[in-house]
Structure 1
Amino acid sequence: MTIIPHPRAVDTAPALLDREPTAVELDAIDQEMPLITAEVDLLDVQISVLDRPVSELDERRVRRARRRVLTARRTLTNRSTVAGGAA
């Protein structure tokens, strides 16, 4: 049995892989960068406590990192809500 790919998928896949990000996409990434950074920091903290007993200091680090993620998400959501015109 031979699988025949859909012609449109074959035509568009190379075009999507070869292009550079547009200015709009780069701007969106730039606006989301505080959230991305906070999530990476949270992941670093979670990884650091995987292979050892969690101390009180570790619990605080995880809690602070989670709060930073929530704050960044709230800020991003509020910014996109205001930009979108919904109130």
Structure 2
Amino acid sequence: MVYIGAVQAVVTADEFDREPTAAELDAIDREMPVIRADIDLLDAQIITLDRTPTELDARRIRRARRRVLAARRTLANFAATRAPGVSA
């Protein structure tokens, strides 16, 4: 009878098994206004799922969409000014 031993995995940290770097945390901080605006938009849309939207609901959704667009514009403008080769 031949015994087959299990192959051991390498005991080093995997790429997905680590803490975020400072650069990754900075990127998350820069994107946080967009994330919050998206959450607000989803909240406004979820409220109207089980009922007919009122005028107040429609205004809430429009405001949330405008906040999402403004946050994305701000993030895109920031990224454009920080692009390599662009003088600030």
Q: TM-score, normalised by structure 2?
A: 0.79
SS of equivalent residue, structure 1 residue 17 = coil
What is aligned with 1:46? 45
Q: Determine the C-alpha separation between the residues in 2 that align with 1:16 and 1:46.
A: 36
Higher relative contact order (CA 8 A, sep 6+): 1
Structure 1 counterpart of 2:16, one-letter code: L
1:41-62 superposed Cα distances (whole Å, 9 cap, x missing partner): 1001100110001100100000
Q: Pairwise CA RMSD of aligned residues? A: 1.7
Q: Determine the C-alpha separation between the residues in 2 that align with 1:16 and 1:39.
A: 28
Q: For structure 2, list consecutive stretches of 5 or more residues without a partner in the other structure.
A: 1-8
The Cα shift of 1:18 comes to 1.4
Q: Determine the C-alpha separation between the residues in 2 that align with 1:16 and 1:50.
A: 40
The Cα shift of 1:31 comes to 0.3
| Identity, % of aligned positions | 60
What is aligned with 1:60? 59
Q: Give structure 1 regions of 4+ aligned residues with deviation exceeding 4 angstroms.
A: none
Q: Determine the C-alpha separation between the residues in 1 that align with 2:65 and 2:15.
A: 34
Bigger helix fraction: 1
Q: Determine the C-alpha separation between the residues in 2 that align with 1:16 and 1:63.
A: 41
